[in-house]
Amino acid sequence: MRMSVPRVGSLHYMVQDFCRRAGIGFVEPPAYRQDTIERGVAASPEHFCFPMKVLIGSAMESLEAGADTLVTVAGYGACRFNYFAELERRILEREGYEFQMIAFDSPRDSVPDFYRNLRAVTRGTSFHLPRVVKELSLVLDKGHVFDEITKKEIAIRALEAEDGAVDRAVRDSRALLADAFSKEEIAGARAAIASRFEEVPLELDRPHVSIGVTGEIMMAIEPYFNLDIERWLARKGAVVERSIYMSDLMTPFGRNPVQGWTDEEMERTADPYLCHEVGGHGQINVAAAVDYARRGFDAIVHFFPFTCLPEVIAKTIFVRLSSELKIPVLSLSIDEQTGRAGMQTRLEALLDLAWTTKRKKGSDHFLHSAAR
């Protein structure tokens, strides 16, 4: 078996780690590029949402790079992601590819189905169920640390006193994490990484704005689609916090350690504006926006794929939320036709508004709690 998964945040990092533990071949999905999008668009019906087209193009490239097994997850709620795996399988077979597709539901939905898929993935290895559960727990823990590095990175990049200091800390931290496999080694790496980030020289009194980034997971996380937003904002003097991380979404029991809240806490936060699940990440993003406003952030950037139902719902709610909580929100729709220049112009206008709002508040030295 030579397995591949979509490139979305830390997902491929965690799956690669599991494959190393199990002795399974792994094909790293190629980085996204224009050709990936064009191939996915050409093979997909026009009405497919943008992430679906991207995933089809990416799967083609992974299969051509040597993968014979595509692993993905199933969705839930009012989102077309529910059908992605089956539609992707049919389209790729129509295009002449030979492979097997394994689509995981959450273990909270069906433990027998989840176990059956685990058996399909680990067929031919010496893994038995207790060992698989143990290794998956360690993989997820390692994924949390990987995402914690990103959370620290984007929170302090705009305040670094030496150019490149944060990038060096990130490289060193990921190197520390790479060879950590046992529970004790992962805990040791987490402590060492925290110490390494403490060494980064910062100018905490540097004027800056605080920006929350939220949205559909692929558009909000993957730099290719969002103008590498976290670095772009940092260069403009913005301290950044992101609302969504891949390892949080894969946590099976409702605790999201990277973001720092439980599903129940998220639902309570969103409740005044959205009191029920709408599929995808709509409710999560509304909760995050409320939280950003309450903590004094200066603006929110919301990325969503064109026609994405959960994010269109969230975008509509953000109009009211922005007015009542006095925080500017910029929603950016992304698809294969999106121009980077136009996106950048709108972001620059939002930053001008954020700086103006901050000066009116008279809080030039605000630093939100995620910076350390």
The structure tokens listed for 171 are 């490289």
Model pLDDT, residue 124: 79
What's the average model confidence in pLDDT over 315-337? 95
Q: From the CB of residue 364, how many other CB atoms can be counted at a distance below 10 Å? A: 13
Model pLDDT, residue 189: 98
Distance CA 289, CA 302 (A): 9
Angstrom CA distances, 185 to 53, 109, 193, 253, 310, stand at 39, 32, 12, 24, 39
Distance CA 296, CA 206 (A): 17
253 residue type, one letter: F
* Phi and psi, residue 160, nearest 5°: -65, 140
The structure tokens listed for 157 are 């990049």
Is the pLDDT at 369 greater than 60? The verdict is no
Q: Give me the sign of the Cα torsion angle 117, 121, 123, 126.
A: negative
Closest CA to 206 of 356, 358, 367: 367
Q: Nearest 10 degrees: CA dihedral of 227, 232, 236, 238?
A: 100
pTM of the predicted protein model: 0.91
pLDDT above 70: percentage of residues in the chain: 95
Q: What is the pLDDT of residues 146-165, one digit of tens each?
A: 999 999 999 999 999 999 99
First vs last Cα of the chain: how many Å apart? 42
Q: Are strands 255-256 and 261-262 parallel, antiparallel or unpaired?
A: antiparallel
Model pLDDT, residue 75: 63
Lowest mean per-residue pLDDT among 74-88, 155-169, 199-213, 357-371: 357-371
Task: Give 345's contacts (C-beta < 8 A, 6+ positions apart).
Answer: none
The structure tokens listed for 254 are 């409702």
